[in-house]
Structure 1
Amino acid sequence: MIYNLDNVYYSTLQGMRANTSNGKTLDKEAFLRLLIQQLEMQDPLEPMETKDMISQLSQLTSLEQITNLTSAVKDFVEAQTSVNPAQLASLIGKYVVVKNNTVNLSNGESESIIFNLDQDAHVVIQILDENGNVIRTEDLGNVQAGVHAWQWDGRDDSGVSVEDGSYTYNVYKVTSEGMEEIGGIEGGVVEAVQIKNGEGYVLVNGYLYPVNSILEISQEGDV
């Protein structure tokens, strides 16, 4: 007796798909069931050739390896993104340098904006309000490589004093291709650590910074 396997494969595959993630994936167990179904329904007079069997077993092996690799990668990513309280607590008392783009203005005086240049460059600083509008642009001209600080006088481009509050800033170096953002930095001793919504933060100079904003860590005495 010769069997027409087209409908058998289709119905078997449809049934297995219904049991796997709404028909979007076909896992290794479903693949094995399909292979067994094929062996049971094949024509005894024309059995599956050895090369076809080896090919399908190779596909099953590859599928299992990919599945295991995907699971391993997922576990690795979850481990890297999870916050370890013990590791986080070990930062207390350390001196850290963090990325920063916020400057606070109080009584008309602002904190220093600190930035680091890996080479001499033409530097431009922009101050933005809470709506993201640029209210002050300061062209510092050519600046030598190294760490520098610039203090905003609390005025906009028209020379008018702005209200006290928290403002964001961008530091750029001018290149032949345009303006390249290099950002600002802040340094200080980690006073405390916090975990909020699964994310780790360090308290430096009275402000919270995400752990992933840390650029450098050293012992306080090394500074």
Structure 2
Amino acid sequence: MINAVTDATQMFWPTERDRSINKELDKDAFLRLFITQLKNQNPLEPMDNTEFISQLAQFTALEQTTNMSKAFQQFLNSQESFSKLQAASLVGKNAVVSGKYVNLKSGSADTIVFNLESNTPVTLEIYDADENLLRREDLGYLEAGIHSYVWDGRDDEGTLMPDGTYTYKLLGIDEYGNQVELGGLEGGKVEAVQFLNGEVYVVINGIKYPISSIMEISA
């Protein structure tokens, strides 16, 4: 009789070698072990009522935890699906994002737009894909508000750069006299929505932006 219980215990409880693979007993294994114990208990020494109730309580708690875990995972999955549907609805709408890219095509570049929260001297720097500084332009002391700048597509030596996407930085001075990077604004129609590695991106003017960078949406 004892051997039967021992065999059942070995069947459902992992050995030291297996414990690294499965450290917790799921509710089905717990129930099978519990039933096996009942079947093989000594009739002359039946399971104590307190122990019986305690094991039932453990099983109930385990089942509730498992059900809650499944319900929560289903909730997360539904939220993810809903978020994707919401993001997909942005396609075709006009969006303004905080950006740092400028496209150059046939010597003509996109207009760089930026918003200043306070008056400050502004310096513009433009970099190529390898992060080499191509152009540094002093835009002077500008007042708070929205401003724009059109790059002529040339570097500091006056050489026209090839078509492509370039990165720009806007630098200003904060109230403490420290140089700070200012954010640019870019806008256009949302051409596509991409889901990559759990992140959501919108494609505007052929450039991919995190959905969190969107500042304004309009029809």
Which category of TM-score, normalised to the shorter sequence, fits these structures? 0.5 to 0.7
How many pairs are equivalent?
A: 209
Q: Structure 1 unaligned runs (5+)? A: none
| Rounded Cα–Cα distance in structure 2 between residues aligned with 1:179 and 1:54 | 69
Amino acid at match of 1:215: M
Instruction: Calculate the aligned-residue CA RMSD, in Å.
Output: 4.6
Q: Which runs of 5+ in 2 are unaligned?
A: none
Deviations 1:134-171 (A, max 9, x none): 44455667755443333334344566543332212345
Partner residue, 2:27:
28
Corresponding residue number in structure 2 for 1:217 = 217
Check conservation: 2:14, 2:23, Cα contact below 8 A: no
* In 2, Cα distance between equivalents of 1:150 and 1:55: 74
2:185 alignment partner in structure 1: 185
d(CA) in 2 for partners of 1:157, 1:124: 14
For residues 216 and 147 of structure 1, what CA distance do their matches in structure 2 show? 15
Contact in 1 for aligned 2:127/2:168 (Cα 8 Å): yes
Amino acid at match of 2:9: Y
Q: What is the Cα deviation at residue 41 of structure 1?
A: 4.0
State the AA in 1 paired with 2:102: V
SS in 1 for 2:9: helix
Structure with larger Rg? 2
Task: Measure how far apart 1:3 and its partner are.
Answer: 7.0
**What is the CA deviation profile of residues 36-84 of structure 1, one whole-angstrom value per residue up to 9, with x for unaligned ones?**
334444455262452x445444443443343333333433443344443
Q: CA deviation at 1:103?
A: 0.7
For residues 102-140 of structure 1, what are the alpha-carbon distances to aligned partners after superposition, in whole Å with 9 as ceiling and x for unaligned?
211234442222234555667665433223444445566
Give the equivalent residue in structure 2 for 1:37.
36
Query: Tell me, what secondary structure is at the counterpart of 1:71?
Result: helix
Contact 2:95 2:189 in 1 (8 A): yes
Give the alignment's TM-score, normalised by structure 1: 0.61
Correspondence 1:1-223 to 2 at 5 A:
8-14=8-14, 23=22, 26-43=25-42, 45=45, 47-48=47-48, 50=50, 52-82=51-81, 83-84=84-85, 88-89=88-89, 92=92, 94-118=93-117, 125-137=124-136, 144-156=143-155, 160-171=159-170, 183-190=183-190, 193=192, 204=204, 206-207=205-206, 209=208, 212=211, 213-219=213-219
Give the match's secondary structure for 2:126.
strand
Paired residues of 2:203 and 2:209 also in contact (CA < 8 A): no
Are the structure 2 counterparts of residues 46 and 119 from structure 1 closer, same or farther at C-alpha, using a change threshold of 3 Å? Answer: farther
- Report the CA distance between 1:98 and its aligned residue: 2.7
User: TM-score, structure 2 length as denominator?
Assistant: 0.62
